Structure 1
Amino acid sequence: MKKLALTALLTTLLATPALAEEKPGEHFEGEPSGTLAEAVANFSRYNQELADLLAKDELTMPDVGEIHVLTYTLENALGKISEEIEEMAEVLEEVHLGSETGNVERVRSNGEIYLESARILIP
């Protein structure tokens, strides 16, 4: 009986279109996030898709397959957001150091660069 259940489960997984496209040893790449704006858009869109799927009373194997696929795009988005936040922290440190020394130009130029990225995250 366990063997039959396992066979049924594996058959369902293989029949799931999202997973059927994935060949053994291969992974989906997900949608790229080349810029912070793309990353934030993908993060927002795919989080909503994940929330919609998780809100179902019952998750089907096709739902799980869809979640599997969308996590690749979410991982790409988070990676880009993380990378950009690191850069933002470095630029903000330049604003901070400029403010300590009274260097108005350093504060202004780095502050504008910082805010350009920060406004993408929090409009």
Structure 2
Amino acid sequence: MKKVLVAVILLVAASWVQADNRPDHFKGLPADTLQEAVANFSEYNKKLEAMLDKGFSRRDLGEVHRLTYTLENALEKIHEEVTQLVDTLEDLHLASEGADPETVRQKAVIYLEPAQTLIK
């Protein structure tokens, strides 16, 4: 799971660097929640993958361009949530080191909800 989280973080960082160097002209689908972000990420990656089986016409390239905005929105939300997840996991780790069962329980519950959403 750590490899997946690191890969997601790296992808988001790379997209932000590129996004800062060009004007916005499409909005893409919103990703207001982690569930929505993961669903959009999955659906739009499948769309992109399906396009790989054929050559890219100008129209296809335009479609790829449009769907990348939805992917960027999804990755931005996933990055935000993963950053919080890392902090929560560290709190959980420290609570376990400190033999604090109540904090371990609280942090585990907080940690598991987004973690389980990511691995669905």
**Equivalent pairs, count:** 98
Partner letter of residue 41 of structure 2?
Answer: F
**Cα deviation, residue 52, structure 1:** 0.7
Residue 81, structure 1, aligned to residue 78, structure 2: yes
* Matching of residues 1-123 of structure 1 within 5 Å: 26-56=24-54, 58-123=55-120
Q: Could you tell me how far apart the structure 2 residues matched to 1:53 and 1:113 are?
A: 38
CA displacement 1:14-44 (0-9 Å, x = unmatched) = xxxxxxxxxxx65111000001000000000
Q: Which runs of 5+ in 2 are unaligned?
A: 1-22
TM-score by length of 1: 0.77
Q: 1:26 and 1:77, CA in 2 relative to 1: closer, same or farther beyond 3 A? A: closer
Aligned position for 1:12: none
Aligned position for 2:9: none
| Cα root mean square deviation, aligned | 1.0
Give 1 or 2 for the bigger CA radius of gyration: 1
